[in-house]
Amino acid sequence: MRTNVPLSDEQILEKQRKRFRGTYNHSLDGKGRLVIPLAFRQELGERFVIAPEFDFKSIAIYPEMVFMRLCEHYERLNRKKKNAQLMNYMQWFNSMSYTDQECDAQGRVLLPAKLRSMMLGEEKDVDIMGNDDHLRVAATINNMANFELFKDNLNATWAAIDELEDGEDEKE
């Protein structure tokens, strides 16, 4: 049985420092290479995985272990109960994921052409965003539109958060 023991301040700091946060704007070069911001490189590690984001609307760059844990999670779900939708998702996700990626000496990584074409289209200006345990790469123009949509729905988002907090108070 698990108990919810509060983390110490030091544990919170250690945990939160490993999160990817912030947004950086970069342009892909003519070969489709992307400069990984210095602020993200250390936590990303020497080897990483380039894959579709969960919604297949942008590119995700995962530290190798985070990606492997995600794959293990999907495989465990599928072993519990075979599910055609999950199997189809895993098939597409795996077929568009590129392992053993690394930055060159200038901190650049080549985004695979197929993934780049399907997720970014012809856009060269991209936002590289910290997304908790991985990076998200999206066309800047699409990201701006998504941010406007987010702002338009902010009141509903806060209402949903309030409901979660109310439910948490009832458990205590």
Residue 54: the pLDDT is: 93
Q: Residue-wise pLDDT tens for the chain (172 aa)?
A: 455 778 888 887 877 777 899 999 999 999 999 999 999 999 999 999 999 999 999 999 999 999 999 999 999 998 898 889 999 999 999 999 999 999 999 999 999 999 999 999 999 999 999 999 999 999 999 888 888 998 999 999 899 999 888 866 555 5
pTM: 0.84
User: What is the set of domains in the chain, with CATH numbers?
Assistant: 19-139 (3.40.1550.20)
Instruction: Give Cβ neighbours of residue 135 (< 8 Å, ≥ 6 apart).
Output: 20, 36, 40, 44, 60, 61, 62, 128, 129
Look at residue 1 in the predicted model and tell me its pLDDT: 46
How many whole angstroms separate alpha carbon 101 and alpha carbon 111?
9
